Structure 1
Amino acid sequence: MSDPRALLVALLLCAGTALAADPLTYGTKAQQLITKGDFVQALEELKAATSRFPYDEELRRQLAFTYTELAKRDLQAGRFAPAAENFRQAHELLPGSRELGLMRGIALYLNKDYAAARDELLQAGEGSEPLVYLGKISYDTGDLPGALDLWRRAKELDPANKVLAGLIEKAERELPVESRMDRGYSSMFDLSVDAELPPGLSAEVLDALESAYNAAGADLGLFPTTRIPVLLYTKKDYSSVTAGPDWSGGLYDGKIRLPVGGITKLTPQLRAIIFHEFTHVLVAELTRGNVPTWLNEGLAEIEGRKEYVPRVPELRGNHLIPVAKLSGGFTGMAGAEAGLAYQQSYLMTRFMVDRYGWYAVQQVLKYLGQGNSMESAVAKALSDYSLDLNAVVREWRESLPGAGTGDAAQ
């Protein structure tokens, strides 16, 4: 007679094998992990399950959901390439979902992979949102008439969309000016120049842009791979297109825009502005736009002042603009206040670079790009120093002539 204990063990092993082979068991375990927010482990469970049960629709649906949740997290953290890949995986599991194709297209657009983004968005249907992003691709790559056509079609489908109305209004303001511009190119820049400007200026500007690409790129640790549009305007056209303040010497809004009317050759001042505005390109890409204005402008001033040092207002420790105010935009400031804002931003940022080094500043920008607040980004980047933003600002204030007491970070 066989050993009953051996028989019991064999039965238990068989039951365990049957249990492990049950799709419902995999699905239940994965759902528990999803409920806890552990999408990475849930993904591994579901990938193993679908490899064993490739035709189980519920497992495929759960796996697609998990890929989608991971993709959303990547998007929020500014990890656009991984987000696009996770949306692709989800879309392969649910090929009938136009929304997943649309989200992948958006992620590819944000990653500036314009060709792949366009292909994906064209398959996402004729809805308003695919048309908006197709228009953004056309706009970013210099096809302003094409962008307007796509946005107007989107507006017909979504007439109440105020953001879309703003895009159309902006493009309609730019088109009459840009349609008469001449074109120039270098290795990384697409230059559009008002036909009224001296023809020899284009080559000098392109040379300065390439120098800025190398110099600022080395400081910030980034060399963009996507071509960058640059537009040179007469001062009148610059004012009408940008609606910026009178004191504005340049603008970056996804394109570098420079008012250069009245000059016949590249001046040190214009070269400095080119370095300044190109730095904004790098900061925008590194931080995904999550950056306080004082740090953004401070870094741009550091690069620009390597080429030309302007006359600046004296700044003393007992006459400072609160850092909280400097974190917002400067465009609403009058000329004198704006001059102080730029100078204070420069001095604060210069202090950080000199005291902690470019690598630490690069780390601050990296953490901002991951969605951290400025306070958190500084604390993480300067953890070896055990410093937070308030402490950094306090040290900077103490280094100024006539330094007072208090906390400028408030």
Structure 2
Amino acid sequence: MNAIQKHRLRFTLPLLLGGFMAAVPPATGADPIAQNNYGVQLIERGEVEKAIEQLEQAFSLFSLDPTLRDNLAAAHALLGRKLLESKSYGEAARHFGRGSELYPDEPRFHLLRGIAFSLAKNGEMARYELSLARSLGGDTAEGLYFLGKTYYDTGETDQAMALWEKAANLAPSESFLAGLLEKVRREQSVEERMERGHSSRFIVSYDSGTKTGSALAILDLLEEFYNSVGTDVGYFPASRIPVILYTRQDYREVTRSPHWSGGLYDGKIRLPVGGITEITPDIRATLRHEYAHAVVIDLTRGNCPTWLNEGIAEIQGRLEYSPPLGELGKAAKRGEFLPLKRLEGSFAGLEGNEVRLAYEQSYSLVNFIVSAHGWHRVRMVLEYLGNGLPLGKAMNRAFADVGLDYDGLFAQWRDHALREFGGGDAPER
């Protein structure tokens, strides 16, 4: 189960140092003022990358002029913001870095660069830039939130809580921070009593009822899945991933997940398997399933429809334990599948047979794509999503060379599912 929530802080991030110099028609020759003014015109037309080329040339010719410096720094900030919005976090960090080269003591560039690194899951660089922004400009709610996240992601919860409490005091109307603090306090009340172990890529926390040998066996399994899932999807996360093994009661209390949830990933793999005495096929399947979510979320930067995310996770989990597709068979016999649009959002509100059908249908659809078109097509879709494309465009681009779009691919799967599970031929269209 994927439980990544797309909370967005509603903080205002100041971007520009000031207004751009008024534009005049461009002149020929190596005239820095003319090149600057042409760059301003390009910005007004929305051609920011071309504008930066002009502004960089102008600044290289007359680097002592404060207006040229201001305009160049502001243009890099503007493009960096656009790249943040399109989830091109590494490129955004590069442009904010250029801004900080032009104004080394300006905290806003370090703040924005730190945010970009945080979203790119480069915790070390994020912590450096955010700490520098804090030392130069003092505390801001934005900076404290993202700085706290660098500690939370590495299991340093006390430090994260202290920073988030300061952020909440600075932004008392920001309900997201209040909810985040309440969630982490629930986690702390349980996890502070846990034992810990780690491997090269995972940190495991486990309750006292779980034998250390079982926790270490789970670490070994996750290292195995790191290689096998990564080989299928073609992606290997760089950051160490926290894994929490709860008792079933603690799992419900901490996660507040639906009663049918057997595990979730929300930046940490959380499993209700405390006190286990053996690693059953079902536990192996859940571990592989939740680790697959970690891979997909990292690769797509969270921009992934639930059916694709759960479908990939189900393919991986069913390599360990594969129960019958009972609800899918019933739906195929009725000719009534869940609309794909409904499966793009969270499954958390589904119940009973419907939630089972959602998982089985997602599995069948992604398994069909892999069988008919290969894992490399799935990887292409995930990469496009990670670059900020909306789902329809990502699907259309990945399948354009075989003449399929999003709707066509779903129709192709539907015909297959009716034949495979419905016991008859697909209807003619």
TM-score under structure 2 normalisation? 0.87
Partner of 2:322: 309
1 CA distance for matches of 2:88 and 2:388?
10
> 1:156 aligned to 2:169?
yes
Partner of 1:253: 266
Partner of 1:267: 280
Partner of 1:189: 202
Partner of 1:209: 222
Partner of 1:328: 345
Q: Does the CA-based 8 Å contact 1:272-1:308 persist in structure 2?
A: yes
> 1:115 aligned to 2:132?
no
Partner of 2:112: 103
Partner of 1:39: 48
Quote the offset at 1:314 in angstroms: 4.1
1 CA distance for matches of 2:37 and 2:85?
28
DSSP-derived class of the 1:20 partner: coil
Quote the offset at 1:23 in angstroms: 2.9
DSSP-derived class of the 1:298 partner: helix
> 1:59 aligned to 2:102?
no
Partner of 1:170: 183
2 CA distance for matches of 1:372 and 1:126?
34
DSSP-derived class of the 2:328 partner: coil
DSSP-derived class of the 1:231 partner: strand
2 CA distance for matches of 1:406 and 1:332?
34
Segment of structure 1 superposing worse, 59-68 or 232-241: 59-68
AA at the equivalent of 1:54: S
Partner of 1:145: 158
AA at the equivalent of 1:119: Y
2 CA distance for matches of 1:310 and 1:246?
19
1 CA distance for matches of 2:390 and 2:124?
32
Q: Does the CA-based 8 Å contact 1:197-1:234 persist in structure 2?
A: no
How do 1:260-299 residues align onto structure 2 when only pairs under 5 Å count?
A: 260-299=273-312
Pick one of 123, 141, 146 that aligns with 1:128. Answer: 141
Partner of 2:395: 378
Q: Deviations over 1:260-296 (max 9, x none)?
A: 0352121111111111001101111111111111110
1 CA distance for matches of 2:428 and 2:266?
35
Quote the offset at 1:30 in angstroms: 1.0
Pick one of 377, 389, 410 that aligns with 1:393. Answer: 410
2 CA distance for matches of 1:315 and 1:19?
68
Q: Deviations over 1:236-279 (max 9, x none)?
A: 11010100111111100011101103521211111111110011
Q: Deviations over 1:49-88 (max 9, x none)?
A: 2111110111111111221122123222322122111101
Q: Which segments of 5 or more consecutive residues in structure 1 lack a partner in the other structure?
A: 1-17
Quote the offset at 1:89 in angstroms: 0.5
Partner of 2:93: 84
Instruction: Tell me which of the two structures has the higher relative contact order, counting C-alpha pairs closer than 8 angstroms and 6 or more residues apart.
Output: 2
AA at the equivalent of 1:282: V
Quote the offset at 1:187 in angstroms: 1.2
Q: Does the CA-based 8 Å contact 1:23-1:56 persist in structure 2?
A: no
Pick one of 228, 233, 241 that aligns with 1:220. Answer: 233
* Count, aligned residues: 390
Quote the offset at 1:336 in angstroms: 2.1
Q: Does the CA-based 8 Å contact 1:46-1:62 persist in structure 2?
A: yes
1 CA distance for matches of 2:352 and 2:165?
37
Pick one of 205, 229, 248 that aligns with 2:242. Answer: 229
RMSD, matched Cα: 1.7
TM-score under structure 1 normalisation? 0.91
2 CA distance for matches of 1:79 and 1:213?
25
Partner of 1:26: 35
Segment of structure 1 superposing worse, 37-46 or 379-388: 37-46
2 CA distance for matches of 1:184 and 1:355?
41
DSSP-derived class of the 1:382 partner: helix
CA 164–19 in structure 1, closer or farther in 2 if over 3 Å, else same = same
2 CA distance for matches of 1:341 and 1:59?
56
1 CA distance for matches of 2:382 and 2:117?
22
AA at the equivalent of 2:402: Y
DSSP-derived class of the 1:183 partner: strand
Q: Does the CA-based 8 Å contact 1:212-1:275 persist in structure 2?
A: yes
2 CA distance for matches of 1:51 and 1:332?
57
2 CA distance for matches of 1:187 and 1:91?
34
